[in-house]
Amino acid sequence: MKVKKFVAPTLKEATALMKKELGNDAFILSTRVINKRTDFGIQKHFEITSGVEEELDLVLAEVENQIPKHGSSFSDELRDLQKRVIGTPSKNRNHNDSIVITPKPNNRTQISSEKLKEYVDKLIYQEVSKPIIKLIVNQIKKSSEFINPSNIEDYVITALSSLITTTSFEIKKRGKQKIVAVVGPTGVGKTTCIAKLAAISKILNNLKIGIISIDTYRLGAIDQLRIFSEVSNIDMLVAYEPSEMPALIKKFSDKDLIFIDTAGRAQRNIKELEKTREFLNIVKVDETYLALSATSSTKNLNDVAKKFELFNYSAIVVTKIDEGVVFGNILNVIVNSQKPLIYLTNGQVIPDDIIAADSDFVAKMVITGNIS
């Protein structure tokens, strides 16, 4: 908000001065009578302190009104987000640590509030969380002299992208053996994801792969992996009890990479989650990925991401982006969980339908609503 003082012999004149300079949207914040030295001696004058919302402030106010309020206070969420995203660089951040972008100033017209609102509306439609939208609008405000109608989309994409931390999968042939587990809710695509990663690692990277299934819970789960293991010629073992795990890992001592496929668990079922954890705790799992479906709401994803923290997962795989309609939920859960994204999966085809995490790609998904 722009604040300015106006002084005149009458209140009416002071108000007229205010409207002339700040326009009809200006409003009076306070008034007081002051003594002013004039050619005719000391005279009483009226001083008004007035304010006018700048165009971007109006958009921000609209953002606040449009998005339903949830849980904790909005300003707390925003402060927390700013501290996390801008204040403290993350070791997993693959991008510039700040979302302040400093292109060269341009002489063209600054961005209009209509144009900005168009992007705010897109973010709202994509169900991007309110603190993130406000953060983006604040960044646009700070850099408004550099932004014009032709670069605003790139700016928003870069700003969104810098909020998405990513990580990548690394393994060296004949290096130290790596054990990777995938956990997550039921039916999200954990087994399919493991099949894709196993096939790619074998075919493209020529690695020796073993798969251990601990999903003796769901009917047909073992058969699903066994068929894949036969077709792809990848060794597979099954553990029925946590105590069997060390022996199975030993059997796979010649493997470069071991995947552990877990049973899908509802995040509320803490007892079952604990059971799965027993299997993983008994061996030294190097990396655990949480699989989340792109078709779940932000609230569900946040809840799952929180409840599955007991696995101390290192990264998130977002599955089924081909079935997603809006993608703000992916951005929200990555920012909220403070875990990096490692893969996206975009279909049922093994091994083709998997994409290494790319924050620009996700930011574009959020802005365009498309996955291509």
Ligand X SMILES: Nc1nc2c(ncn2[C@@H]2O[C@H](COP(=O)(O)OP(=O)(O)OP(=O)(O)O)[C@@H](O)[C@H]2O)c(=O)[nH]1
- Interacting residue ranges for ligand X, rule: CB under 6 A: 186-192, 215, 218, 221, 263-264, 319-320, 322-323, 345-348, 353
Choice between 157 and 193, CB closer to ligand X: 193
Choice between 8 and 200, CB closer to ligand X: 200
32's contact among ligand X, Mg ion, none, with CB below 5 to 8 A by partner kind, is none
347's contact among ligand X, Mg ion, none, with CB below 5 to 8 A by partner kind, is ligand X
**How crowded is the C-beta side of 296, counted as CA atoms within 13 Å?**
23
E strand or H helix that includes residue 291: strand 287-293
Q: Yes or no: say if 291 and 189 are a contact pair by the CB < 8 Å rule.
A: yes
Residue 46 in 3-state DSSP? Answer: strand
186's contact among Mg ion, ligand X, none, with CB below 5 to 8 A by partner kind, is ligand X
Determine if 262 is a binding residue for Mg ion (CB under 5 A).
no
Q: Which of 216, 294, 214, 308 is nearest to 262 (CA)?
A: 214
CA distance linking residue 148 with residue 152, whole number of Å: 6
Give the range of 111-119, 130-138, 183-191, 231-239 binding Mg ion by CB under 5 A. 183-191
Q: Least separation, in Å, of the C-beta of 288 and Mg ion?
A: 15
The vertex-346 CA angle with 341 and 348, nearest 5°, equals: 125
Q: Which of 220, 223, 287, 215 is nearest to 258 (CA)?
A: 287
The encoded tokens of residue 161 equal 């992208």
Q: Least separation, in Å, of the C-beta of 263 and Mg ion?
A: 7
Q: Least separation, in Å, of the C-beta of 260 and Mg ion?
A: 11
CA distance linking residue 272 with residue 183, whole number of Å: 12
E strand or H helix that includes residue 279: helix 270-281
Q: Least separation, in Å, of the C-beta of 368 and ligand X?
A: 19
Q: Least separation, in Å, of the C-beta of 275 and Mg ion?
A: 15
Determine if 319 is a binding residue for Mg ion (CB under 5 A).
no
Choice between 96 and 297, CB closer to ligand X: 297
Rg (CA), the chain: 28
Which residue is it, tokens 């100033």? 105
Q: Least separation, in Å, of the C-beta of 124 and ligand X?
A: 26
Q: Least separation, in Å, of the C-beta of 117 and ligand X?
A: 34
Determine if 191 is a binding residue for Mg ion (CB under 5 A).
yes
Neighbour count for residue 78 (Cβ, 10 Å): 17
Choice between 168 and 216, CB closer to Mg ion: 216
Q: Least separation, in Å, of the C-beta of 191 and Mg ion?
A: 3
Strand order from edge to edge, sheet including 2-8: 2-8, 41-52, 27-38
Residue 368 in 3-state DSSP? Answer: helix
Q: Yes or no: say if 132 and 82 are a contact pair by the CB < 8 Å rule.
A: no
- Amino acid identity of residue 341, one-letter, is L
353's contact among ligand X, Mg ion, none, with CB below 5 to 8 A by partner kind, is ligand X
Choice between 190 and 255, CB closer to ligand X: 190
Q: Least separation, in Å, of the C-beta of 320 and ligand X?
A: 4
Choice between 155 and 228, CB closer to Mg ion: 228
55's contact among Mg ion, ligand X, none, with CB below 5 to 8 A by partner kind, is none
Measured in degrees and rounded to the nearest 5, phi and psi for residue 370 equal: -120, 155
Choice between 242 and 351, CB closer to ligand X: 351
Residue nearest to ligand X (CB): 264
Choice between 191 and 296, CB closer to Mg ion: 191
Cβ neighbors of 44 (< 8 A, separation 6 or more) are 9, 33, 34, 35, 36
324's contact among ligand X, Mg ion, none, with CB below 5 to 8 A by partner kind, is none
Give the range of 57-65, 156-164, 187-195, 202-210 binding Mg ion by CB under 5 A. 187-195
The vertex-273 CA angle with 271 and 277, nearest 5°, equals: 115
Choice between 164 and 258, CB closer to Mg ion: 258
Residues near Mg ion (CB under 5 A) are 190-191
